[in-house]
Amino acid sequence: MVLKLKKKKVVPQEENQEKEVKDLKTVVNKSTLLDVLKKVKPGIASKDIIESMTYFFFSGEDIITYNDHISIQHPFKTNFSFFVKAKDFFSIVSKISVQEITLMEEQDKLVLKCQSVLAKLCTIKDDEVISRISTVKDSLVDTEWKSIPENFLECISLCSFAAAKGESDLTLTCIKVDGDYCVASDNQRVAFAKLTTPMDFFFLKSSEVNNLTAINPIKYSVEDSWIHFQNADNCIFSIRKVMGEFPDFFPFLDFDGASINVPKEITEGVDLASVFSDPETPSITLLIQKGLCMITVESPHGELKFKTKIDYSGDDIKFKINPLFLREMLSHSTEITISETRAKLETASFSLLTALVVESE
């Protein structure tokens, strides 16, 4: 009896090595990757105090940024896990012209390949920051997500103009969200907005509004140490909670005064004056006097005056205001309520008010 032995297929060593390398590769779309990087980029630390806080962290499941105040995580599967310098990696990806990019780990480096490009970026490990990131992620376990009000993003955007810019009083740099309203003030201006549905209480730093709005969150959760926001793509923007007291500004908003309809032409003046306003602390002066409405602005780069007629015969009123805020407000309402010491803009559709301290001549 002759036994026929089945020959075992011998796979060349080179073929095994090729398969292993292929398994370690992550092929991505450039536009998709860039969009994810832009969403998590606000979590990059502005100062290189802890090196890895200026890096993107590829966890294998997400791309994450963390700077001790903000942690942003966006789903993004890879076959590796390490930190890569955010500035260098973002610059390379944004400048590449083709759409298909291959990423892989090779000897403690992130290798990026596409057509005529081969880049190798140094990577690092940081167990301490990974532990901190894990603490944030652990706080999301069994969290109760709640829907964000329909007008939440618009309300916080409008209120952010009135928040304080310095850090002397931390809570005044924030927007207070409490129940069915948002309020912000720098002790000279007050902005108030009514939400379509109530929210849990928290403070939101006005400096984070633009970054948070960019991910378009639809859910939120307030935990012991963090506030989490989640969008439809499961990108989670986590902000460390701010603790403190906030003054009661509601009595300040309640006053009687004359109602003035500002001419629609004033929006042209606001746009023109914005050219010369300081980008860091944008401000223009609005003067209302008998039959005349005038906008003025002065800066080291130049000055501008804009005049238009107005149906008004009372005492002169003069105050400073953020041009971006005024422009947005005038898109909803052109009515201003004026008293001897205050001016108020009110929009019926958004129930938003702002009170300004009026300058005396």
Q: Phi and psi of 328, rounded to 5°?
A: -65, -45
Sign of CA dihedral 140, 141, 143, 147: positive
**Mean pLDDT (the chain, rounded):** 86
User: Is the domain defined by 17-138 classed in CATH 3.10.150.10?
Assistant: yes
52-82 pLDDT, tens digit each: 999 999 999 999 999 999 999 999 999 999 9
> Which amino acid, residue 218?
I
Instruction: Categorize the per-residue pLDDT at 149 as very low, low, confident or very high, splitting at 50, 70 and 90.
Output: very high
- Mean pLDDT is lowest, of 42-51, 169-178, 193-202, for 42-51
Sign of CA dihedral 186, 155, 318, 315: negative
CB atoms within 10 A of CB 109: 15
85-138 pLDDT, tens digit each: 999 999 999 999 999 999 999 999 999 999 889 999 999 999 999 999 999 998
Give the per-residue pLDDT at 336.
79
Instruction: Give dist(CA 65, CA 86) in Å, integer.
Output: 9
Q: What percent of the chain has pLDDT over 70?
A: 89
Are 50 and 129 in contact by the 8 Å Cβ rule? The answer is yes
Are 219 and 227 in contact by the 8 Å Cβ rule? The answer is no
Are 158 and 184 in contact by the 8 Å Cβ rule? The answer is no
CB atoms within 10 A of CB 160: 25
β pairing state of 62-66 and 70-75: antiparallel
Give the per-residue pLDDT at 20.
44
User: Is residue 172 scored above 50 in pLDDT?
Assistant: yes
Cα 109 to Cα 51, 89, 125, distances in angstroms: 17, 12, 11
Q: What percent of the chain has pLDDT over 90?
A: 55
**Tokens of residue 275, six digits:** 């050219």
User: Is residue 305 scored above 50 in pLDDT?
Assistant: yes
Q: Give the bridge partners for 175, in sequence order.
A: 204
Q: What is the mean pLDDT of the segment spanning 262-291?
A: 86
Give the per-residue pLDDT at 281.
74
Cα 293 to Cα 36, 206, 262, 353, distances in angstroms: 46, 31, 8, 21
User: Is residue 346 scored above 60 in pLDDT?
Assistant: yes
Q: Give the bridge partners for 296, in sequence order.
A: 285, 305
Instruction: Please tell me what DSSP assigns to residue 224.
Output: S
Residues of the chain with CATH 3.10.150.10: 17-138, 146-250, 255-357
User: Is residue 148 scored above 80 in pLDDT?
Assistant: yes
CA dihedral of residues 53, 65, 224, 215 (deg, nearest 10): 140
186-196 pLDDT, tens digit each: 887 788 889 99
CATH number of 146-250: 3.10.150.10
Provide long-range contacts, Cβ within 8 A and 24+ apart, for 161-168: 161/189, 161/191, 161/322, 161/324, 161/325, 161/354, 162/186, 162/189, 162/190, 162/191, 162/325, 162/354, 163/206, 165/281
- Mean pLDDT is lowest, of 13-22, 209-218, 275-284, 327-336, for 13-22
Give the per-residue pLDDT at 320.
81
Q: What is the pTM of this model?
A: 0.80
- Mean pLDDT is lowest, of 88-92, 219-223, 249-253, for 249-253
Instruction: Give dist(CA 32, CA 222) in Å, integer.
Output: 29
On the 0-12 / 13-18 / 19+ scale of CB atoms within 10 A, 234 is exposed
Rg, C-alpha atoms of the chain: 27
Give the per-residue pLDDT at 180.
92
Nearest Cα to Cα of residue 38 among 83, 74, 77: 74
- 255-357, which class in CATH? alpha beta
Give the per-residue pLDDT at 91.
96
Instruction: Categorize the per-residue pLDDT at 19 as very low, low, confident or very high, splitting at 50, 70 and 90.
Output: very low
Give the per-residue pLDDT at 326.
80
Most confident of 7-16, 118-127, 265-274: 118-127
Q: Angle between the 86-95 and 30-40 helix axes, to the nearest 10 degrees?
A: 150
Give the per-residue pLDDT at 355.
56
